[in-house]
Amino acid sequence: MSDGFFCSYHLCWSRPDAESLLGDLEAAGVRADHPATRRITLLSPGAEPSGTQSWVTRDQLVLLAGLQRLDRVDFLLWLDSGAGIPARIGRGDDGTVGLRFGLGSLSRADQERALRAIREAIGRASLLCVGFVVDREGASASTDWQGFIVKGSVYFDCWPDTLAVLPEVAAAQPQLSGVNSFEQSPWVVYGSDVPNR
């Protein structure tokens, strides 16, 4: 997932959060089951979409995505067009959970549909979400976004399309000083996108 991406970071995560996320994504048009086969595809750790795949039930996906048994799960989400979105939910060393959605294989129209759905789903859980980043081209993929968004302790070389952080991170991070932004509770949002809520 080194091309375009959407990443968000959460201080708390559990099975109900995973179930809520999947339900909200489905309501917005991004589903866990393939539109034709109805199969839910789990990816082996580190595998690309063409790598080792297995099929699971929705309940199994919710259990795994709740990170009760594993620290990371990779799976595919689908648009009605049949376009796949690689997704990863993983717990970092500090306990923060990162959600990553790959946008690289999507057409521009599918990217926008996926981003709108993901953004809406993340927005509903904003009390748990400490920030997010959207980079349609993936130019900033090498940045430690978790270190920037959660701790405000690293810097980035390339601006993403959208960056949302908590006000205390925005105030402490010199790279954000004097940059145009707007408040979208609970975040301060930077960049060319104006995410809808």
**Span 29-59, pLDDT tens digits:** 999 999 999 999 998 765 455 567 889 999 9
Kindly tell me if the per-residue pLDDT of 100 is higher than 90. yes
Helix (H) or strand (E) holding 167: helix 167-172
The backbone torsions φ and ψ at residue 38, rounded to the nearest 5 degrees and listed phi first, read: 65, 15
Which tokens go with 180? 């145009």
Find where tokens 């909200």 sit: 24
H helices of 13-124, in order, are: 15-27, 58-65, 108-124
Find where tokens 């549909």 sit: 113
3-state SS of the chain: helix, strand, coil percent to 5?
Answer: 25, 30, 45
- Percent of the chain at pLDDT exceeding 70: 91
**What is the end-to-end Cα distance of the chain in Å, rounded?**
26
Burial class (CB in 10 A: 0-12, 13-18, 19+), 86: buried
191: left (phi over 0), alpha (psi -120 to 50) or beta: left
Q: What's the whole-number mean pLDDT along residues 109-124?
A: 89
Kindly tell me if the per-residue pLDDT of 111 is higher than 90. yes
In DSSP terms, which residues pair with 42 in a beta bridge?
A: 54, 75
CB contact burial 54-68 (16+ within 10 A = b; e otherwise)? eebeeeebbbbbbbe
Confidence of residue 110 (pLDDT cuts 50, 70, 90): very high
Kindly tell me if the per-residue pLDDT of 196 is higher than 60. no
**Distance between CA 185 and CA 63 in Å, rounded?**
30
Q: Model-level pTM?
A: 0.90
